[in-house]
Structure 1
Amino acid sequence: MKTPDQVVADARRRLENTWHNQAVGAGQAWPHKFPLSVPDKKDALESGWQQTIHPLIRTWRDWVARHPVRLHTASRQVFTTVQDVPSHLEILTADDAAAVVGGDWAERLERGRRRAALLADVLPAAPEPQRIIRATDGHTDTDFALLLKVATWFTRNDASGYTPRQVPIPGVHAKWLNTHQPLILNLAGREDLGLLPAHPSRIHFTYLDPGHRATGGRRHDSATVGDAFTPAYQPDIVIVSENKDTAIHFPPLPGGIAVEGDGFGGKAAAAFSWLTGSRHLLYWGDIDAYGFEILNGWRDDGVAAISILMDQATYDAYEPFGTNTDRNGKPLQPGIPKPLPHLTAAERAVYQRLLDPALQGHRRIEQERVPLSVANAAVQAAIRGS
């Protein structure tokens, strides 16, 4: 037989799955009867009667008296008497469910209904309003009002030829518009907003060849995907560095170019054959879970780089200088390793160790902790070994 806490958990799940329908007046989720899973067979009922079921019936009656619910019973033969045994708990409305579940559910329901009314008033033709209410549950009222304002603008105006930054709506910036596009499309009933595509991606890099630098040529450069571009020289060695400063200040290296890493993917870098076709293509990142996930992403995008200074020996050497917080200052936690199919067996072993709950050392060794002279030696060793 279920306890009140178990049925409250059932009610919470049902409320979580249906509240947005209730907010717009749709669906038939309530009233609902939750079974208490009382044993069907007389022997099972009697075997647990004294120790479990009878005390739990008293618990249920006390609990029901304090909550907006109905307790349904069924007459059952127990030993030599007939007992009214609770069989179902009925919750009549979503508001009653919110009161039973507690937390911020009453506030969420009220906010959802208020926003549903506003949505129906401003954009009465919007399809699936319940989906909008659910998707915007975490939005502030200001953001929700802005969403309706922008969607209304797109129902009345043509944005063809505009970039997201150029859309003339007060309070809207490009990042907000880009992240809210799916909702705006749904509300405005459009398949496309007509906006210009995002600007082409770029890579930034540093020329490391001492001969090139001696001629007075530019030290730092960039290349835009889609533009015709040829670097000052065809690199023999390309080092992709997760950290910008490391790439900029890497020691002189004949035929070398140091590319600044760009998050979890290398699609921009993969667009340049002079980069991917270099004889030695290396990747150097932080020794942490994110670093290996980024490395996997670069390889997945077509940059078949060999990692340096991301091995167990480097971790052991520089672990005393590590940290247990990420780049945003949040504590690093153990976790479940992702598949990451592009890691080598040795890389995967380090990655899995960094996520192991039993790890005693730090979970992150930043690139900056490794001297550039050591990095330069690692590059030379990688060249000799290839």
Structure 2
Amino acid sequence: MAEPQKLVLPKDVVARARRTVDRHLKSWLFGASVDALTIRLGSPSEAAVAAQRAVVENWVHAWQDSRLDVRWEERRWPSLGRQLLPVVVTIEGADAIVAAAGETRRWQSLQQRRAQLQALDDGPQWSAVLVETFRYWNSLADNDFDRLLATVRWLRQNPDSGLLIRQLPIPGVDTKWLGTHRTAVTALAVPLGVPEHLGLRERELLRAVVIADPALRRGLPRIFAAPDGELAGLDFAASQVLVVENLQTLEALPDVPGTIAVFGWGDHAMLAVVEDDDVGVIGVDDDALMRTPRS
């Protein structure tokens, strides 16, 4: 029994259009020329049609119901008479190919996004930046793209704000969001003149301190935490500073005359308050910084 050659159905054309869109969408978005998508649908012989009549009829009916632009050709066969068969589909232009792929909404969304980003700058290099950063803003959810756009726009207007992330006056943008999308924000903002750190102030780490001598507390609590900058401005009048690498060890320290203890953060970073040559600095735990008191 003769087998008809592969008969291309509308769903096959849709799949082919989707593959084409996936391959070329980015280049089309930035103005590349678009080749027409031409797909031959099959050319069954008289014998193949006679042997697989139901299959061919279903194929013809599928194309009769399709909205795609199909070219039909007439066949005249001795045993089957006049037959009108679908021959080829030609889809021209990005809009039409995208529509055939069922990707119109995605296409229109990307066109809008590109236009919004393009409006941020009219410099000759900005289009190249958008091409390079496409992977960052292409697949974002709509609300995340809106936040990205608002963040880049605000940072360009305020490149040296000195704000903490949570102080940014941008709806939906907080520490978690910027942490997730910082690469995208930086990739777009830096070419617009925003510094790599985005002009933002990092939250200062709070260093734990124990004032182990009650006479040195002068109204301060025995255990507290403060940024290094504030601690450096305090005059503890201590004769000995312990740098401790374990918080539980720090909290468990007993009262010791003339002594304060600070948490070392594991980096051996020294506070200005413990860098006085007249203050002995002693490391507690194996990794702590050790310095002998000056005689």
Residue 15 of structure 1 pairs with residue 56 of structure 2: no
2:195 maps to 193
1:170 maps to 170
2:180 maps to 179
The whole-number CA distance in structure 2 between the counterparts of 1:28 and 1:9 is: 21
SS in 2 for 1:123: coil
1:158 maps to 159
1:338-371 superposed Cα distances (whole Å, 9 cap, x missing partner): xxxxxxxxxxxxxxxxxxxxxxxxxxxxxxxxxx
Which entry has the higher C-alpha Rg, 1 or 2? 2
Post-superposition offset of 1:97: 3.9
The whole-number CA distance in structure 2 between the counterparts of 1:70 and 1:153 is: 47
Letter in 2 for 1:226: D
CA shift in 2, pair 1:49/1:17, >3 Å? same
1:113 maps to 111
The whole-number CA distance in structure 2 between the counterparts of 1:145 and 1:111 is: 12
2:146 maps to 145
CA shift in 2, pair 1:51/1:225, >3 Å? farther
TM-score, with normalisation over the residues of structure 2?
Answer: 0.51
Q: Which segment drifts farther, 126-135 or 141-150? A: 126-135
CA shift in 2, pair 1:71/1:123, >3 Å? same
Question: Structure 2 regions of 5+ residues with no counterpart?
Answer: 1-5, 206-244, 255-261, 271-281, 289-295
CA shift in 2, pair 1:148/1:33, >3 Å? same
The whole-number CA distance in structure 1 between the counterparts of 2:32 and 2:54 is: 37
1:127 maps to 127
1:226 maps to 267
Indicate if the aligned counterparts of 2:70 and 2:86 stay in contact, CA closer than 8 A: yes
Indicate if the aligned counterparts of 1:112 and 1:133 stay in contact, CA closer than 8 A: no
SS in 2 for 1:11: helix
Post-superposition offset of 1:90: 1.9
The whole-number CA distance in structure 2 between the counterparts of 1:222 and 1:65 is: 78
1:68-97 superposed Cα distances (whole Å, 9 cap, x missing partner): 322346789989999876553222344444
What is the root-mean-square deviation in Å for CA atoms of aligned residues? 5.0
In percent, how many aligned pairs have the same letter?
A: 19
Alignment of 1:84-99 (within 5 A): 86-99=86-99
1:94-135 superposed Cα distances (whole Å, 9 cap, x missing partner): 444444444xx3322232233333333333443244665664
Indicate if the aligned counterparts of 2:156 and 2:193 stay in contact, CA closer than 8 A: no
SS in 1 for 2:127: coil
Indicate if the aligned counterparts of 1:77 and 1:83 stay in contact, CA closer than 8 A: yes
2:63 maps to 64
The number of aligned residues is 219
Residue 31 of structure 1 pairs with residue 36 of structure 2: yes
Question: Structure 1 regions of 5+ residues with no counterpart?
Answer: 235-271, 274-386
